Structure 1
Amino acid sequence: MALPDPVPRPIDHVLRGAPDAPALLDRAGGWSFADLERAVASVAGWLVRQGLAPGDRVATWLPKTRLACVMPLAAPRAGLVHVPVNPLLRRAQVAHILADSGAALLVTQPARAATFEDGDVPASCRVVDETQIGFDAEGPGPSTADPQALAAILYTSGSTGRAKGVMLSHANLWLGAVSVAHYLHLAATDRVLAVLPLSFDYGQNQLFSTWFAGGLVAPLDYLTARDVVRAVERCEATTLAGVPPLWVQLLEADWPAATAARLKRLTNSGGALTPRLVRGLRERFATAEIVAMYGLTEAFRSTFLDPAAIDANPDAIGRAIPFADVMTVRADGERAAPGEPGELVHAGPLVAQGYWRDAERTAARFRQAPAFAAHGGLAVWSGDTVVEDEDGLFRFVGRDDEMIKVAGNRISPGEIEEAVLKGDEAREAVAIGVPDDRNGQAIVVVLAGDATGEERLRSRLKTALPSFMQPARYLWRDALPRNANGKLDRARLRAELLDGVTS
């Protein structure tokens, strides 16, 4: 596929497949591109009739239903902003997103809505059962919106505090779809098994990039690796995107040789592939290309590694994706020399518009691009340390913030600590990520308090936090160490844990 001119369009223009070509496949059957276009128009028409103001936020808290797949295109077509909520989140996290985004509408399912407590849903937000929205009514045609207009807010965790909303324009989403379809060489014959949450930029892009290429998406909510194996066979999938913990599970599953041979493309983000994982994937999926990628929600994605280079460079995160201007910057603002560590900075049209209603955090992360950048304007300063080799490949060195990443999910230590301290079991708490073979990292919480409250704490957090945010271990102490400024000495605790010292 030749790289198109980087002229952005409204995101719903990604429906480029032939009208009678298959576009979506689930257990209820299949939709052609004509069916999908009709559904997008119908849902957009329903939204228009709700009397919402242009730019109002529409949140969805859904598994991968057909409506969940349609709403990312229908809401922007209606002149609204889509706010997808991770279906794994619990009511407290959803309540924060609804309040922070100022959502005027939440589309969900009765069982989910029933978990809300008084005060969780703002008075200005109406809750709608997804079954009230049909796919066969009249609605507007393709959008004529300004490509720079806000189209979506995706919530992502930061190192402190609650999740923050990343503002994405039509242009951000459109050019991300074009870029990925290009460097993955997606085609109309491809069938993409979408197992990642559609609330993630990585998961949502599976819809956009596949439909831009004219291919088929098969959304799947899975419980076990065996579910994925069966879906690959049932959907005749050619492409599967995942995160390292998923690959670990899939390599432990029983794969019929013919089913494994169906996959011709495996893509990875949300954590680095280890040489061991690469070898395992090579052995199990001998005919598939393995595409390693690095990204951050604030700029969608920054780099990808050519599949032909992964065996010789298993620690590399690759080169800039199309439309991305990626560079390594020293602390003094100058370009780092080859082999010299520096901060990864991403400029260009994939850079988001900042954090929703959060000028302080926007100013900290979105700053002027370096003078030597090919693209001026705002750039995302990632906080990640990388080196660029003489051959132009970037390699990840480390993360400057304290984020924890479990099974590909970015988790704020502050959010874990806040949930822990809402009860009376502990006086203080520090959440730390430690290496874990299966999930990348595991959460360890060091607490000041009486260990007799641990059972009560575990029980409380099971209802307060989603499964991927559950601590794996609790370490109880009489008091937690403090630094010279009197603050909790997180660095010392982290070093002790990583060195295996827990006393």
Structure 2
Amino acid sequence: MVPLDPVPQPIDALSLRGDPAAPALDGREGPLSYADLEQAVGRLAHWLAAQRLAPGSRVASWLPKSRAACLMPLAAPRAGLVHVPVNPVLKRAQVAHILSDSGAALLLTQPQRAELLEPADVPNGCTVAAEQDALAHHADALPPSAATPEALAAILYTSGSTGRPKGVMLSHANLWLGAISVAHYLRLTPADRVLGVLPLSFDYGQNQLFSSWAAGACVVPLDYLTPRDVVKAVDRQRIASLAGVPPLWTQLLEANWPEETAGRLQRLTNSGGALTPRMVRALRTRFPNADLYPMYGLTEAFRSTYLDPALVDSAPDAIGRAIPFAEIMVVRPDGSRADPGEPGELVHAGPLVAQGYWHDPERTAQRFRPAPAFAASGGTAVWSGDTVVEGADGLLRFVGRDDEMIKSAGNRISPTEVEEALLAGGEVAEAAAFGVPDARLGQAVLVVARANGDPAEAEARLRERLRRELPAFQQPAHYRWRDTLPRNANGKLDRSGLRAAVLAEFQEPAR
């Protein structure tokens, strides 16, 4: 088991954690040993340094799970730069927002992706570079950095309940301690092979690289199209550990798993939405040799809690206890500690708390506030907006969300961003987006709108346009058309009334 050393190091030192001859990365582009990984990170960092960018400049990557995508989270900080990973499923307008908002000085991508961008999508002073050119750089490798723990290493963009995606600022210490924490409580070992199916732009997906390398294990990145691709990869690559979100587990449970292949898995980890007791039972039956780790987290503090596999069968509805290095509190509205059995807001303090939102002091002040007076950690805490309750068994259980975020297939979707896209083409005069229960996705996007003209024609045009402009996970699944949309006493759209009306049409998923 990885020891819980609380002293952080520069995140790019992770490439030195494993046995130099042991595999660190494997997959479509072939294997890399830890010695190879260190050399590849150093060469890519040298190429980045040769671009002569100012220290602390933001460098974005918009890539599938390629070799460069796996190296950039270490190479950029080693070169004294800040990495901004962009989800490969995002469309050009969303990529343009992230490039502009982060002030990216460089975008590393592939020629076919670069061709999708229009000139105005790339900010002035931002260079677009091809990954093959960066990987072809065979000059001297940069040695590990001497970055301070507080230095900014990455900005991860995540949607808020209002407005466009916001960049969460993560330090070397945030990333390093998150890697050590997860490697420790998952009991990762150098013998483990970890299948990476989650996007590397998500903290959960990126941490699969970091926690695996912290343990000296091997990561096998996979861009999959069907659940069968995952089944085949588990068998072919001798996978022991698999991370997912509830919709992926639903798909994998419907897939055909040969008994021997299912028996290979020793560890399943879940985040991005709660597992139902029914799904827990199904996973335990299908993968009898695998420990199941339900987890709860938010990008602003990486990960907050996990449930020990030994407790999964007796408490399948729990999100568990604090992970190492996290202080988790249940807080009343007046800032005092809630009693066991009393609902309160989950507040996360300690060294995993991010540095705030990039260039957004207003939203930073809303979410990042002083820790409660009774906190042991002190300093800044993340006030999650999620309501939880601590049971008599000492385990936390999720109660509900206070904001309007839509969580679909493990993705956090901003209703405002969807609404902006709906209104951009002129098909509708007014629109509101909500999340409604969906057995496969967790939540699906439902739109209530007033059409400009015939609703059926408006819906047909909308569906066609949004397929081009929004990624698949943001596509509205349902439309409800109204002649008028209700307003409150202030003349604003009555979102709470609309939400109650649309939710009344849907039953909660079976548990």
Shorter-chain TM band: over 0.9
Cα-to-partner distance string for 1:431-472 (whole Å, 9 max, x where unaligned): 000000001011000001240211111111111100100000
Instruction: Return the alpha-carbon distance in structure 2 between the equivalents of residues 140 and 376 of structure 1.
Output: 37
- Do the aligned partners of residues 2 and 109 (structure 1) sit closer, same or farther apart at CA in structure 2, a change above 3 Å counting? closer
Deviation at 1:2, TM superposition (A): 5.3
**Correspondence 1:175-214 to 2 at 5 A:** 175-214=177-216
Contact preservation (8 Å) 1:40, 1:70: yes
User: Where do 1:284-299 residues align within 5 Å?
Assistant: 284-299=286-301
Distance 1:394 1:229 in 2: 33
* Residue 5 of structure 1: how far off its partner (Å): 2.4
1:120-269 superposed matches below 5 A: 120-134=121-135, 136-269=138-271
Once the two structures are superposed, residues 286-321 of structure 1 have per-residue CA deviations (whole angstroms, 9 ceiling, x without a partner) of 010000000000000000000011111111100000
Q: Work out whether 1:477 is the aligned partner of 2:478.
A: no
Q: Match of 1:26, SS?
A: coil
Q: Distance in 2 between matches of 1:163 and 1:119?
A: 19
Residue of structure 1 equivalent to 2:6 = 6
Matched, 1:25 2:30: no
Q: Is the 8 A contact 1:339 1:387 kept in 2?
A: yes
Kindly report which structure 2 residues correspond to 1:47-86, keeping only aligned pairs within 5 A, or say none. 47-86=48-87
Residue 491 of structure 1 pairs with residue 496 of structure 2: yes
Partner of 2:40: 39
Q: Supply the distance in 1 between the matched residues of 2:304 and 2:58 (Cα, whole angstroms).
A: 27
In 2, distance between residues paired with 1:390 and 1:223? 43
Asked whether the equivalents of residues 346 and 382 of structure 1 are also in contact (C-alpha less than 8 Å), the reply is yes
My pick for the range that moved more, 429-438 or 479-488, is 479-488
Q: Give the drift of 1:349.
A: 0.1
Superposition deviation, residue 147 in structure 1 = 1.2
TM-score by length of 1: 0.99
- Name the CA distance, whole Å, in 2 between partners of 1:261 and 1:328: 38
Q: Say if 1:2 and 1:122 are closer, same or farther in 2 by CA, change over 3 A.
A: closer
Equivalent residue letter for 1:176: G
Unaligned runs of 5+ in 1: none
Q: Which residue of 1 aligns with 2:509?
A: none
Asked whether the equivalents of residues 233 and 259 of structure 1 are also in contact (C-alpha less than 8 Å), the reply is yes
Is 1:339 matched with 2:341? yes
Correspondence for 1:467: 472
1:83-107 deviation per Cα after TM superposition (whole angstroms, max 9, x unaligned) = 0000010000000000000000000
Question: Structure 1 CA distance, aligned partners of 2:341 and 2:305?
Answer: 17
Farther off after superposition, 159-168 or 455-464: 455-464
Alignment of 1:415-426 (within 5 A): 415-426=417-428
AA aligned to 2:11 is I
Letter in 1 for 2:412: R
CA distance in 1, matches of 2:118, 2:48: 26
Work out the CA distance in 2 between the residues paired with 1:351 and 1:391.
26
- Alignment coverage as a number of residue pairs: 502
Q: How does 1:353-368 map to 2 (within 5 A)?
A: 353-368=355-370
Q: Would you say the 8 A contact 1:38–1:136 is kept in 2? A: no
Tell me by how many angstroms 1:391 deviates: 2.2
Tell me, in whole angstroms, the C-alpha distance in 2 between the residues paired with 1:88 and 1:27: 20
Match of 1:110 in 2: 111
How far apart are 1:283 and its partner, in Å?
Answer: 1.1
**Contact 2:4–2:181, Cα closer than 8 Å, also in 1:** no
In the alignment, what sits opposite 1:352? 354
1:118 offset after TM fit, Å?
3.3
Contact residue 39 and residue 136 of structure 1 kept, 8 A: no
- Quote the RMSD (CA, aligned, Å): 1.1
| Cα deviation 1:234-291 (Å, max 9, x = unaligned) | 1100000000000000000001111111100000000000011111111110010000
Deviates more, 1:423-432 or 1:126-135: 126-135
- Residues 423, 52 of structure 1: CA spacing in aligned structure 2 closer, same or farther, 3 A cutoff? same
Determine the C-alpha separation between the residues in 2 that align with 1:356 and 1:305.
32
> Aligned letter for 1:87?
P
Calculate the TM-score normalised by the size of structure 2: 0.97
Distance 1:235 1:118 in 2: 41
Shift of 1:136: 3.6
Alpha-carbon distance between aligned partners in 2 of 1:304 and 1:430, rounded to the nearest angstrom: 34
- Structure 1 segments (4+ residues) deviating >6 Å: none
